[in-house]
Amino acid sequence: MEPTIQYHVCLCQTENNPLSSSTLTLPPLCLPSYSRDHPVFLQLSDYFWVKNETLYQLPYGTKGSEDSLMKFLALTKRYNVRPEIERLPCKRCVVVGNGFRLKHSSLGNVIDKYDIVIRLNNAPVHNYQEDVGKKTTMRFFYPESADFNQHLDNNPDSLMVLVPFKPMDINWIRIIINDEKRVFKGFWKMPPIFWEVNSENVRILNPYFMDFAARKLLTPHQAWKSKRRIPTTGLLAITFALHFCDLVHIAGFGYPMLGNKQQPIHYYDRRTLMRTSHNITLEAIAIKQLLQHRLIHNLTYF
């Protein structure tokens, strides 16, 4: 008999609960080396008290960025998920993508019922609440995508989760929070020079999740030793949710067909599909497999 891995079962499920889960079993090849033993955010103790040994540089590890991380983490002094979230017996999560499929979806009220709502990059909430809701538990972003409205598109207690792709990303957030002299070079797009944020709400995502998404979700379709395509923020957030949550739903994922130059890619603008450094075809395969194995559920269509 093929061995199986038992996925966490929600303790809060009820027969009439639209957010309920069911028992999930999956072949070990679906999520190889799956473990919940990794801290979700980087912590000062990882670098101050013990030597954090990592084989890879950002975005897959922190090799070479230890000093920058230590300086930043000493400023924030907060490294965990909020206690009211951590102690939930069942963490019901929805990862809200930025895709055009959310437009006119009227999913806002449904999205707001989840315990944890994860949003991506600079996707707006204001003026789109009917389709995307108004609750934001966490927002995954990087400096070039930090041009969202802190007051209108987030909640006062929303966690701003930095996804560090390069060492300069850590320097940027430290300069912003510590109000140091602005010297921003090495970005493909100029990040915000002024950024109103409570330092206690900022976290740095553990690069373990980027490594996992690239190695374990995309590797079956792409040799790890060949040129790696960095996962999108969306696939990264799904990977995080699979490790942290007991129930994972997604909404607003999926790009237009590669030849479709007419359909917008976002629910909030008219931009169409351009060249990208991500391999969206491989990511679509990975997400479809997660859906087929019932590890995640889609509120829209994919």
Give the chain's domain count. 1
Find out whether 220 and 28 touch, Cβ atoms under 8 Å: no
Find out whether 158 and 135 touch, Cβ atoms under 8 Å: no
- Residue 3's CB is within 10 A of a number of other CB atoms, namely 7
Local confidence pLDDT in tens for the 302 residues of the chain: 333 333 343 444 443 444 554 433 344 445 666 677 789 999 998 776 555 667 899 999 999 999 999 999 999 889 999 999 999 999 999 999 999 999 999 999 999 999 999 999 999 999 999 999 999 999 999 999 999 999 999 999 999 999 999 999 999 999 999 999 988 888 999 999 999 899 999 999 999 999 999 988 987 555 545 566 789 999 999 999 999 999 999 999 998 776 777 889 999 999 888 777 778 889 999 999 999 999 999 999 87
Q: Confirm whether 32 is domain-assigned.
A: no
H or E, element range at 240 = helix 233-244
pLDDT, tens only, 204-243: 999 999 999 998 898 755 554 556 678 999 999 999 999 9
Sort strands 138-141 and 116-120 into parallel, antiparallel or unpaired: parallel
Q: Confirm whether 192 is domain-assigned.
A: yes
Please give the residue range of the domain that contains residue 73: 38-298
Q: Confirm whether 9 is domain-assigned.
A: no
Q: Confirm whether 218 is domain-assigned.
A: yes
Q: Confirm whether 17 is domain-assigned.
A: no
Q: CATH number, domain at 126? A: 3.90.1480.20
Predicted TM-score (pTM) above 0.85: yes
Strands (E), 70-158: 92-96, 116-120, 138-141
pLDDT, tens only, 150-198: 999 999 999 999 999 999 999 999 999 999 998 888 899 999 999 989 9
The pair of three-digit structure tokens given for residue 100, joined into one six-digit string: 């055009």
Q: Confirm whether 13 is domain-assigned.
A: no
Q: Confirm whether 31 is domain-assigned.
A: no
